[in-house]
Each structure stands twice: as C-alpha cells, then as structure tokens.
C-alpha cells in the first residue's frame, strides 16, 4: 500500500516518515513537500519525494497520484488560509483517487474553544467528514517537545509561565505521535474513527513545575501566569508575536479545562508501548546536554 504524507519535511512529518520506514519498504512511502531538496536524505533511502504545495492546486493532484492513504499534516498557516489548504488537498485527493484521508487536530476541538486555530481544526474535521472519502481524524495532545525545548529558559525563569491556571493537559511528544501514526497508517478498520494520541497523564502547570524541578534539581516554582505574561516572555526570547499569541490561546483552552476529557492510553493500545512521560522526556533532555 502506498502511503503519502504532506508536510513530510516538518518536525512531525520527518518523524512519521522515519517511523514508517521501520515498518514498510521505502518504495511504499511518498513524501510530499514544497521543497523536495529538504528530503534528499529520505530520497537516498528509496522514498519517493514529490513537490506539492497546499496553495497550488496544480501541484497536488500529481503529488497524490497512486497514493492510497494520505496523511495531511497541516501547515502553520492561520485559519482562513488553512481552510483553503484543506479544500485544495481534499479536492485534489479525490481527483487523484486517493482511497483514505487522515489528518491531525487537537484535543478539545469543538466550536467555542478559545484556541486561535480551533476554527481551522473544526473546519478540518468537518471537511474530512464531508469529503466522501474514508477518513480518520487524529486528535493529539499539546506537544511536550515545546516544554522540553524550552527547558534552559525555564531553569533561568525559575517557573513555567503557561497561563493554564489549574487546567490540565495530556502533553505528548511528537515522536510518540509519529510512532503511533505509522502504526495507524497500516491498520485495518480505521475509517470513521477519531483516535486520540495523547501523553500518559494529565498534568497541570503546577505538576509540570514539580517534575521539572525534580528532574533538573533547580528551583522551578509554579507562579500563576497571565496570557500577556507568556506572550511577553516568548517575544523577548525572539518568538514572533503571532506564534506567541497562538500558543497563549492554546493554554487559555487548557485553563478552561478543554483537554481534560481526553482518553489516555490510545497510543499504548495501538502500539503496545506507552508514550513517554514528561519526566522521561525532560530527563532525556538533561542527559543529552
């Protein structure tokens, strides 16, 4: 079965391709990107690399030719542009006779969620439901990698300024999402399902501070933060205002307890291996430095 992945050059996409290559021959994998030269390492392994741009419909149908299952990893575009990108991808997939569509949205995707990209996630889910093709929607937890990568600053700040109040979330690593996605892409009976790829536990920011303090041996103490505090700190570190505001709204959704209905255990049930805990991920980060 030929499996296509759009967004294969991104951080999640590269991990999905890598995990797939542990399970299937390279000739079954079609990696799609706007910039094929970014994937020359996969091409060297025998992966078919094709050019495809969500904003250029002429590029998509040829990119999707022969694909049976297509994983649409969303770009980082904002809401209106993403709607168009989904429309383009789904229409082209139909023309190319793709047999099954998969995409990612986030835990808590439902109208009214304050996450700035929630309308795009709601739209993505509706677009797949109405695609007239078999579909699978993967709802993920927030990426644990975001905190793991931020650890040096967290140590300096002495706190984690996520504006989540007492809200909890099932943080999960991109690699565990990718590992489970590779398995899912090869599974039967996934049409019309909404698997949840989330971490092994629900954690508040106070929990995160305790874990980070234990793992690092540093003073990392929970101090409630406002969204504006978070945005200001991230911008001072060089993040764009747009990215900082989008992320802040995800933490506002967590503060509203929007992710607490997530069902834990989906990754372990599918793969036989539990996703890594935040404690393990932070300890790995410390060990790698």
Ligand X SMILES: NC(=O)c1ccc[n+]([C@@H]2O[C@H](COP(=O)([O-])OP(=O)(O)OC[C@H]3O[C@@H](n4cnc5c(N)ncnc54)[C@H](OP(=O)(O)O)[C@@H]3O)[C@@H](O)[C@H]2O)c1
For ligand X, the binding residue among 3, 5, 10, 167 (CB under 6 A) is 10
Residue position matching structure tokens 């539990």: 274
- Rounded CA-CA distance 180/96 in Å is 26
| Nearest-angstrom CA–CA distance, 101 and 93 | 8
Alpha-carbon distance of 118 to 48, in angstroms, equals 33
Residue with Cβ nearer ligand X (218 or 235): 235
Residue nearer to ligand X on the CB measure, 218 or 256 = 256
- Residue span binding ligand X (CB under 6 A) among the ranges 9-17, 179-187, 209-217, 265-273: 9-17
**Per-residue burial over 210-240, b = 16 or more CB atoms within 10 Å of its CB, e = otherwise:** bbbbebbeeebebeebebebbbebbeeeeee
Report in angstroms how near the CB of residue 123 gets to ligand X at its nearest. Answer: 12
- Give the footprint of ligand X on residues 90-119 (CB under 6 A): 104, 106
Is residue 6 involved in binding ligand X (CB under 6 A)? yes
Can you name the residues that pair with 5 across neighbouring β-strands?
Answer: 31, 71
Distance CA 176, CA 16 (A): 9
User: Would you say 178 and 16 are in contact if contact means Cβ atoms under 8 Å apart?
Assistant: yes
Enter the DSSP assignment of 273: S
H/E stretch holding 30 reads: strand 29-33
What is the smallest separation between the CB atom of 153 and ligand X, expressed in angstroms? 18
Question: Is residue 11 at the binding interface for ligand X, with CB under 6 A as the rule?
Answer: yes
Exactly one of 86, 123, 143, 150 binds ligand X (CB under 6 A); that residue is 143
Neighbours of 85 (CB within 10 A): 21
Nearer to ligand X, 142 or 212 (CB): 142
CA distance 65 to 240: 37
| Of 2-10, 40-48, 159-167, 264-272: span binding ligand X (CB under 6 A) | 2-10
- Residue 35 beta carbon to ligand X: minimum distance, rounded to whole angstroms: 4
Q: Which of residues 32-91 bind ligand X (CB under 6 A)?
A: 33-35, 38, 53-55, 73-76
Shorter beta-carbon distance to ligand X: residue 76 or 97: 76
Residue 77 C-beta: closest distance to ligand X, Å: 6
Total interface residues for ligand X by CB under 6 A:
23
Q: Which residues bind to ligand X, rule: CB under 6 A?
A: 6-7, 9-13, 33-35, 38, 53-55, 73-76, 104, 106, 140, 142-143
């Amino acid at each position: 079965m030929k499996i296509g992945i759009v967004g294969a050059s991104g951080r999640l996409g590269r991990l999905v391709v890598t995990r797939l290559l542990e399970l299937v021959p390279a000739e079954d994998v079609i990696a799609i990107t706007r910039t094929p030269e970014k994937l020359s390492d996969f091409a060297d392994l025998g992966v078919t690399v094709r050019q495809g741009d969500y904003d250029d419909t002429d590029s998509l149908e040829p990119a999707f030719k022969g694909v049976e299952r297509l994983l649409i990893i969303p770009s980082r575009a904002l809401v209106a542009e993403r709607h168009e990108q989904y429309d383009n991808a789904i229409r082209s997939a139909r023309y190319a006779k793709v047999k099954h569509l998969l995409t990612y949205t986030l835990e808590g995707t439902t109208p009214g969620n304050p996450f700035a990209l929630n309308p795009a996630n709601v739209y993505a889910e509706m677009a797949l439901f109405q695609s007239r093709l078999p579909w699978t929607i993967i709802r993920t937890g927030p990426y644990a990698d975001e905190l793991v990568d931020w650890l040096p600053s967290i140590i300096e700040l002495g706190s984690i300024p996520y504006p989540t109040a007492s809200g909890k979330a099932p943080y999960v690593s991109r690699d565990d999402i990718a590992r489970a996605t590779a398995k899912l892409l090869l599974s039967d009976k996934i049409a019309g399902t909404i698997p949840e790829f989330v971490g092994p536990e629900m954690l508040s920011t106070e929990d995160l501070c305790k874990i980070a303090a234990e793992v690092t041996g540093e003073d990392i103490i929970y101090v409630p933060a406002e969204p504006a505090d978070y945005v200001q700190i991230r911008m001072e570190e060089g993040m764009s205002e747009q990215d900082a505001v989008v992320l802040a709204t995800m933490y506002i959704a967590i503060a509203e307890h929007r992710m607490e209905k997530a069902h834990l255990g989906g990754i372990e049930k599918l793969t036989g291996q539990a996703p890594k805990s935040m404690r393990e991920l932070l300890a790995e980060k410390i060990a790698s430095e």
